[in-house]
Structure 1
Amino acid sequence: MCFLRFPKHSGGPLQWGKTSKQLGAADERDLFPEALRVVDEVRPKAVMLENVRGFMDAVFHDYRQKLKRQLKKMGYSFVDWHLYNASDFGVSQLRPRVVIVAVRDEFADKFEWPKGGDMQPPSVGNLLHDLMGARGWTGVDQWRDGADEIAPTIVGGSKKHGGPDLGPTRARRAWEVLGVNGKSIAEEAPDPDFEGIPRLTVRMVARIQGFPDDWQFAGRKTNAYRQVGNAFPPPVAEAVARNVKAAITARRLYAVA
């Protein structure tokens, strides 16, 4: 199986943010042709790609159909896409993302999309209570009670800001409602006598994304945060990948029998 995803600023056929021009194939940052080149060279049994919600917009209908035709020519009878919210898989943020799956002819009839929706994600306060109080902050319980919703969609920081932050003004306002200062990322949890609105650490953001606490990120704070902020939530990737694995292994076992 081959899993390919696009860096945030490549975005597949998409432009990002309110200034989106939605150039599709005319966008120099469109990496779908490169993804197809890799698929054509490797010819895995299945392919999983991830992109932003805008991939499903009507303006990209022809682009999606072209992608499907190209994959089918390579022998992938099943080519489809599905819009998931990460919260449907227990992740404490909405984070809508499109997953594209292509499965080769001999395995195509066995693949099913995972359902999701049977896991209630914890609130930000409950999820991060131990991390936020790791240094003995006396206000952590009150903070937990106020941060009683799931998170806004994590992003890799606002484009105009040099260091790590939780996104543009609108995103930071949403974080503020949850009692989080989104203007920057903290090196560590609040001091015992901290007063004010706390910031998140890279580890806290990683937990919101669904990463296990022992996952290591390369580089210093800014680089590490951008890796986390631009990531595809692991619980969603795992759910789809498990179904892909089930499809390509079930068919093989059936053939042996």
Structure 2
Amino acid sequence: MIVIDLFTGAGGLSEGFHEEGYKIVAQIEKEKWACETLKTRLIYHFLNKNNDLELYFEFLRKSFNYKTLDQDRMIIFKKYPELKEKIDYEILNRKFGNPANDREATSSSDIIKEIYASLKYNNATSVDLIIGGPPCQVYSVIGRSRLKEAANRDSRNYLFYYYLNIVKEFEPKAFVFENVPGILTAKDRLIFSVIQEEFDNIGYTILSGNDHEHKNNIIDFSDYGVFQRRKRVVLFGFKKELNYTYPDFSRFTEYWNEEKNTRNIIGDLPSLSPGEGEDLKLIEYPFQNNSELSEYQKKMRENSMGIMNHKARAVRDHDRMIYRIAIEYSNQGIQLKYNELPNDLKTHQNEESFLDRFKVHNWNEIPHTIVAHIAKDGHYNIHPDIKQARSLTVREVARIQSFPDNYKFEGPRTAQFLQVGNAVPPIMSRVIAKAVKHILTSP
């Protein structure tokens, strides 16, 4: 089945569809480093298909400076020159918008031309499915509280129109639109009503789930095999005449013979003090007997020679003292409140607004939701080991998001954090891909 992925980010949603045999002919993403991550992932899948992962590992061993990434990839392109052409057609670093108002933007018509070029390159004549989700800051409750009235004027409220334009042009059988629950209530529910109406006008039904009350269709990805509390909305649209039903995700839930807790996710990764580790350099796994690894850790290590993106942020002594207190509280099953800190550790006068500023991923609990704010600071994502007393690394949050260890996030560390925080967990994307395939291929 032929797929277009819009607002792709680092590729979490497309990863599951790729694993399930869909052919993704175009991935459109505005952020440069996310696109570089997509290119590296495309290289991985290409080399894996060609039984040449050793070349991928050689690339990983040599590619540890994002400033020399293009040169580092030449060892691959020299052997597979066709791969560079494939990347150029299928990964489009484009920002949807009006070029007259935004010099960085590309018009829908120009992006559509590039997608047609990729279809031709892939010998495809039609599109079966479109996936993706416009940036969700203004839809999310947190985002709306930060932006306040500006949220109602934010142009990102209307990015779904570009999604709509692509659906209208390529007329897929169906589309998948993943987003935060706030999309159902944004602008006093007007945004979602408009989305439904606009898709209805071009001949598509859009469902938020099986319940007529949309708020009851919010799902927690942890119920489907993801090792993380993550509440989201998965909208499913289809041509009216096909009369599809909403996908049954529960039928394809991934089950684990162990607790979904932080220890089983990251307990095997190298210990780090603040500032230690490597951003992009490949690090060998610490020696461990296979029997010591959790089922989840074994899954994350498949087709991997080690880990990348595992460098701890530097932490001020002041914050590290707070981290230790937060970890001690967490070990007693208590969430530290900001107003409970000693006065000499408080830096904010408005204590009420910062009550949950510091939060630990307890060893024995399921992790809380990873969000893009982790690119700014790690206070809400503290490692549970009091000896390390630091925030989580990119690799650790990638593990929580269910990205395998061979998934390399390119660019500076801030860009890496942003990519992981915004992503759809690949485990959930695999569940979605299977459920959608069942619908699209059923007689």
TM-score, scaled to structure 2 = 0.44
Q: CA deviation at 1:104?
A: 1.4
Q: Give per-residue Cα distances to partners, 1:185-222, cap 9 Å, x unaligned.
A: xxxxxxxxxx3414422121111001122222221322
8 Å CA contact 1:3, 1:47 repeated in 2: yes
Matches within 5 A, 1:88-237: 88-115=223-250, 119=255, 122-133=260-271, 134-135=285-286, 147-157=363-373, 164-166=376-378, 172=380, 175-176=381-382, 179=384, 195-237=387-429
Matches within 5 A, 1:32-111: 32-57=160-185, 59-81=187-209, 82-111=217-246
From the CA coordinates, give the structure whose radius of gyration is larger: 2
Distance in 2, matches of 1:28 and 1:205, equals: 30
Check 1:165–1:86 CA distance in 2 against 1; reply closer, same or farther (3 A cut). farther
Letter matched to residue 366 of structure 2 = I
Check 1:229–1:223 CA distance in 2 against 1; reply closer, same or farther (3 A cut). same
SS for the counterpart of 1:130 is coil
Distance in 2, matches of 1:180 and 1:33, equals: 46
8 Å CA contact 1:112, 1:243 repeated in 2: yes
Letter matched to residue 5 of structure 1 = G
8 Å CA contact 1:78, 1:104 repeated in 2: no
RMSD of aligned alpha carbons? 3.2
SS for the counterpart of 1:16 is helix
SS for the counterpart of 2:243 is helix
Higher-helix-fraction structure: 2
- One of 139, 156, 181 as aligned partner of 1:29: 156
8 Å CA contact 1:91, 1:210 repeated in 2: yes
Distance in 2, matches of 1:13 and 1:67, equals: 16
Check 1:226–1:108 CA distance in 2 against 1; reply closer, same or farther (3 A cut). same
8 Å CA contact 2:178, 2:232 repeated in 1: yes
Flag structure 1 segments of 5+ consecutive residues without an equivalent: 137-142, 182-194
Q: Give per-residue Cα distances to partners, 1:31-82, cap 9 Å, x unaligned.
A: 1122111211121111111211212337542322221122122222353354
Considering Cα pairs closer than 8 Å and 6+ residues apart, tell me whether 1 or 2 has the greater RCO. Answer: 2
Letter matched to residue 411 of structure 2 = G
Give aligned-pair identity as a percent.
Answer: 29
Check 1:204–1:98 CA distance in 2 against 1; reply closer, same or farther (3 A cut). same
Q: Give per-residue Cα distances to partners, 1:7-47, cap 9 Å, x unaligned.
A: 354x4587705324366764212211221112111211111
8 Å CA contact 1:92, 1:209 repeated in 2: yes
Check 1:109–1:53 CA distance in 2 against 1; reply closer, same or farther (3 A cut). closer
Match of 1:187 in 2: none
Distance in 2, matches of 1:114 and 1:93, equals: 17
Q: CA deviation at 1:115?
A: 2.5
SS for the counterpart of 1:47 is strand
Distance in 2, matches of 1:114 and 1:102, equals: 15
SS for the counterpart of 2:433 is helix
Distance in 2, matches of 1:13 and 1:200, equals: 23
Q: CA deviation at 1:242?
A: 1.9
Distance in 2, matches of 1:238 and 1:101, equals: 15
Q: CA deviation at 1:4?
A: 1.9
Match of 1:192 in 2: none
Q: Give per-residue Cα distances to partners, 1:102-141, cap 9 Å, x unaligned.
A: 01134333543312777466211121111145557xxxxx
TM-score, scaled to structure 1 = 0.72
Q: Give per-residue Cα distances to partners, 1:200-249, cap 9 Å, x unaligned.
A: 22121111001122222221322112101111112222222322222121
